[in-house]
A and B are shown apart, each in its own frame.
Chain A
Amino acid sequence: MEHFIELRDICKSYGQQAAVCNATLELKKGEVFSLLGPSGCGKTTLLRILGGFQYPDSGRVIVNGQDITDLPANKRPINTVFQNYALFPNMTVWDNIAFGLRVARMTRKEINVEVDRMLELIDMQDHARKKPGEISGGQKQRVAIARALVNKPQLLLLDEPLAALDLKLRQRMLIELDNIHDEVGITFLYVTHDQGEAMSLSDRIAVMNNGSIEQIGSPVEIYEAPGSSFVAAFIGDTNFINGQVKEKIDHDYIRIELEEFNSVLAWNDKQLNPGERVDLSIRPEKFRLFRNKPEATPYMNAVEGTVEDIIYLGAQTKYWIRVGEKLVSVQQQHGRFLLDETPITWGENVWVCWHANDGYMLQRFDEEDASMLPLPPEEDLEDDEEAQ
């Protein structure tokens, strides 16, 4: 199938600084695609290039097989929901939604029908005559979406649309956005720095860092099979384990000699040979904690350590276990915490276990990405003191 929207080798720099470098993306018709990355990673630049507010230094933008790279914003079949909504403060809700239709010189009758239909979609019929200053943040958000959708764009760009809302409202709007997407079936390009939003809304995600795209994939792929240490550390929490291949156990599994502690087993995803470097990412919730050494089962790893720190989070508890020189972060769900479990406490000796399949081999590893991972509270404190 021909891809619906394509960005080919887009580069854009401001002065000396490259904001986007060789970005290539393909969007399928009707999907929700997210650009996810920390601030300054170039995701907004990419969105502005798609919207026609900026032009790339090189590369092409193609919609439906047609090259629109040099088309200005007002001639593109693309509409945008801006970060701060950018509702026109001097116009009513109704006039805001009608703006694009008026510009397109539709008849008064058509405009009335379309605007009323949109107001119904966002459930704002009662607020049509209000000015943007008189409605709440969530309502502004809905008006901004309606104002863009009423033009029947081929692609809707959403630039951090929920950033200005509080947590509860954000969760509600997320569901609402999903419903609106189901209803209109337009392709959405969603830009955000919030992994939660991207994961729950998107069909596919592109993770960006320093102006280039690190990985593109479904939320599951991105979380379970991160391509690089950046993706692994930016999305969720993880542990990095670095070492060398010691020996091949069988066709699929290897034994790894680690820098920090005992040798462990891992699934040989990359088909590495002995002597080669290995970087593993293991999510904290993949570990199991035991007071006593569990019985050995095939491909199971078990290492001994002491509990250094505990944070009780309600739904789960987070532990930092010192294993040799390494701090391993572990996340555990629990049953009836107070009644029939004796909680693991500080200083206890525990066994950390995981299956060889739970460690995922990273394609690229950068030492610095480890600094994104959360540290136990005490370490944070020490860091602060050093900083001062």
Chain B
Amino acid sequence: MKKHNKPYVEWLLTLPSLGWLTLFFIIPTIIVFAIAFKPAGVNGGIGEGWTLESIRNLAQPSYPEIIFRTIWISVVATAVCLFLSTPVAYWLALQPPQRRQWLMLLIILPFWTNFLIRIFAWKTLLHSEGWLKYALVSLGLVSPDAILLYNSGAILVVLIYTYLPFAILPIYAAAEKFDFSLIDAAHDLGASRIHAFFSIFVPGIRTGLFTALMVVLIPALGSYAIPDIVGGASSEMIGNKIAQRTFVDRNLPHASALSACLALAVLIPMMISLIGRDRRFTKKTGGKKA
């Protein structure tokens, strides 16, 4: 491949997007970390000097509970999403191409519907006069005065509902590339259906599973709108606390400290996986050259 012969062309073309991202993504992220060490000012401003007060505040007794709840809700939601998406992706990948296209559209459509609308749809379903409540009561599964909304269970269901399409897409992309003759080969060698599924198919789509894991777990950890709308006071997550500190308490340093925690929790595993992938990639191409 011919290269441009002028070296500054690359810089010139990279500058707009790189500059934009530096200004509106990298610098703000650094500011978050910096403000975590600032004192709170009057009227919701930021004070002068440096302090560890906000960091120390993270040790408040209410936080461990919230952090623990955030983690378990996110992990359960991710696990359920992966568990449901894998058979769906398997089934989709085996459909004839023409039908597959329409089925994919059916899966993508809810993914395109507004996020708030999806939450709201569930809120009306779970509402004390909603259809689901009505159905469950008439089936005798819950008592008429049970409350389905404003608890961790409601958050979990809506999280799964929201992120399931995001989990199906990468797993399906991997399943579509999967060579299904491997499943035939496993049967041929005597493996049962379940054995073939777990020992051949699941390892075969592991990159898709990994992407799906990231795509669900990370936004779930940072979710704000879902617990805000269908959750209650006893089921707050980190996101709610950040918003509360920002808009209600007007304590930006405190909100920053919380955000910095969340950012570290999300960015560190991501960096590790990216670097790992990068190294694997260079190793592969290096191997080919040799």
- Chain B associates with chain A: yes
| Minimum distance in angstroms from A144 CB to a CB of chain B | 8
CB-CB under 8 A for A73 and B187, given A89-B204, A103-B195: yes
- Cα distance A86–B200 when bound, in Å? 11
Residue of A nearest to B287 (CB): A134
Q: Which residues of B contact A51 (CB under 8 A)?
A: 184, 188
CB-CB under 8 A for A74 and B204, given A84-B181, A86-B182, A88-B182: no
B200 engages A79 (CB within 8 Å):
no
CB-CB under 8 A for A99 and B187, given A82-B181, A86-B182: no
B187 engages A86 (CB within 8 Å):
no
Is B31 interfacial (CB 8 A cutoff)? no
Is B190 interfacial (CB 8 A cutoff)? yes
B190 engages A53 (CB within 8 Å):
no
Knowing that A74-B188, A103-B189 touch, tell me 16 more A-B residue pairs with CB under 8 angstroms. Answer: A51-B188, A53-B184, A53-B187, A78-B188, A79-B188, A84-B181, A86-B184, A87-B185, A88-B186, A90-B200, A90-B204, A99-B191, A103-B190, A147-B189, A148-B188, A151-B190
- Cα distance A75–B179 when bound, in Å? 22
Q: Which residues of A contact B64 (CB under 8 A)?
A: none
Question: Can you list, as one digit per residue, whether each of A46-82 has a CB less than 8 Å from chain B (1) or not (0)?
Answer: 0000011100000000000000000011110011101
Residue of B nearest to A90 (CB): B203
- Cα distance A86–B181 when bound, in Å? 6
Sorted from nearest, which 3 A-B pairs have the closest CB atoms?
A100-B189, A86-B185, A73-B187
| Minimum distance in angstroms from B275 CB to a CB of chain A | 22
Is A104 interfacial (CB 8 A cutoff)? yes
- Cα distance A87–B189 when bound, in Å? 12
Residue of A nearest to B203 (CB): A90
Q: Which residues of A contact B203 (CB under 8 A)?
A: 90
Of A78, A82, A104, which is within 8 A of B185 by CB? Answer: A82
A-B contact pairs, 29 of them (CB 8 A): A51-B184, A51-B188, A52-B188, A53-B188, A72-B187, A73-B188, A74-B188, A75-B190, A78-B188, A79-B188, A79-B189, A80-B184, A80-B185, A82-B185, A83-B181, A84-B179, A88-B200, A90-B200, A90-B204, A99-B186, A100-B189, A103-B189, A103-B190, A103-B191, A103-B195, A104-B190, A147-B189, A148-B188, A148-B189
CB-CB under 8 A for A151 and B184, given A88-B200, A90-B204: no
Is B192 interfacial (CB 8 A cutoff)? yes
B190 engages A74 (CB within 8 Å):
yes
User: Which residues 191-209 in B have Cβ within 8 Å of A in the complex?
Assistant: 191-192, 195, 200, 203-204, 206
Q: Which residues of A contact B200 (CB under 8 A)?
A: 88, 90
Q: Which residues of A contact B206 (CB under 8 A)?
A: 90
- Cα distance A51–B203 when bound, in Å? 25
**Size bracket, chain A contacts:** 20 to 34
Q: Which residues of A contact B179 (CB under 8 A)?
A: 84, 86
A74 engages B184 (CB within 8 Å):
no
- Cα distance A83–B192 when bound, in Å? 22
- Cα distance A124–B229 when bound, in Å? 62
Q: Which residues of B contact A52 (CB under 8 A)?
A: 187-188
| Minimum distance in angstroms from B289 CB to a CB of chain A | 15
Q: Which residues of A contact B181 (CB under 8 A)?
A: 82-84, 86
Q: Which residues of A contact B192 (CB under 8 A)?
A: 74
- Cα distance A52–B188 when bound, in Å? 8
A100 engages B184 (CB within 8 Å):
no
- Cα distance A148–B206 when bound, in Å? 26
Q: Which residues of B contact A82 (CB under 8 A)?
A: 181, 184-185
Q: Which residues of A contact B186 (CB under 8 A)?
A: 88, 99
| Minimum distance in angstroms from A176 CB to a CB of chain B | 21
A100 engages B182 (CB within 8 Å):
no
Question: Can you list, as one digit per residue, whether each of A160-188 has a CB less than 8 Å from chain B (1) or not (0)?
Answer: 00000000000000000000000000000
| Minimum distance in angstroms from A16 CB to a CB of chain B | 15
- Cα distance A195–B15 when bound, in Å? 61
- Which of B179, B189, B195 has the largest count of A CB atoms less than 10 A from its CB? B189
Q: Which residues of A contact B204 (CB under 8 A)?
A: 89-90
Q: Which residues of B contact A100 (CB under 8 A)?
A: 189-190
Q: Which residues of B contact A73 (CB under 8 A)?
A: 184, 187-188
- Cα distance A241–B60 when bound, in Å? 99
Q: Which residues of B contact A75 (CB under 8 A)?
A: 190
User: Which residues 125-150 in A have Cβ within 8 Å of B in the complex?
Assistant: 147-148
- Cα distance A373–B254 when bound, in Å? 84
CB-CB under 8 A for A74 and B185, given A84-B179, A90-B203: no
- Cα distance A109–B188 when bound, in Å? 23
- Cα distance A101–B182 when bound, in Å? 17
A151 engages B185 (CB within 8 Å):
no
| Minimum distance in angstroms from A229 CB to a CB of chain B | 35
| Minimum distance in angstroms from A96 CB to a CB of chain B | 9
Residue of A nearest to B192 (CB): A74
Q: Which residues of B contact A83 (CB under 8 A)?
A: 181
| Minimum distance in angstroms from A331 CB to a CB of chain B | 40
| Minimum distance in angstroms from A28 CB to a CB of chain B | 23
Q: Which residues of A contact B187 (CB under 8 A)?
A: 52-53, 72-74
| Minimum distance in angstroms from A127 CB to a CB of chain B | 16
Residue of A nearest to B191 (CB): A103
| Minimum distance in angstroms from A192 CB to a CB of chain B | 17
- Cα distance A83–B185 when bound, in Å? 11
- Cα distance A371–B49 when bound, in Å? 91
Question: Can you list, as one digit per residue, whether each of A95-119 has a CB less than 8 Å from chain B (1) or not (0)?
Answer: 0000110011000000000000000
- Which of A82, A83, A86, A100 has the largest count of B CB atoms less than 10 A from its CB? A86
Q: Which residues of B contact A148 (CB under 8 A)?
A: 188-189
Residue of A nearest to B200 (CB): A88
User: Which residues 16-69 in A have Cβ within 8 Å of B in the complex?
Assistant: 51-53
Q: Which residues of B contact A80 (CB under 8 A)?
A: 184-185, 188
B191 engages A74 (CB within 8 Å):
yes
- Cα distance A62–B157 when bound, in Å? 52
| Minimum distance in angstroms from A199 CB to a CB of chain B | 27
Question: Can you list, as one digit per residue, whether each of A276-310 has a CB less than 8 Å from chain B (1) or not (0)?
Answer: 00000000000000000000000000000000000
Q: Which residues of B contact A104 (CB under 8 A)?
A: 190
Residue of B nearest to A144 (CB): B185
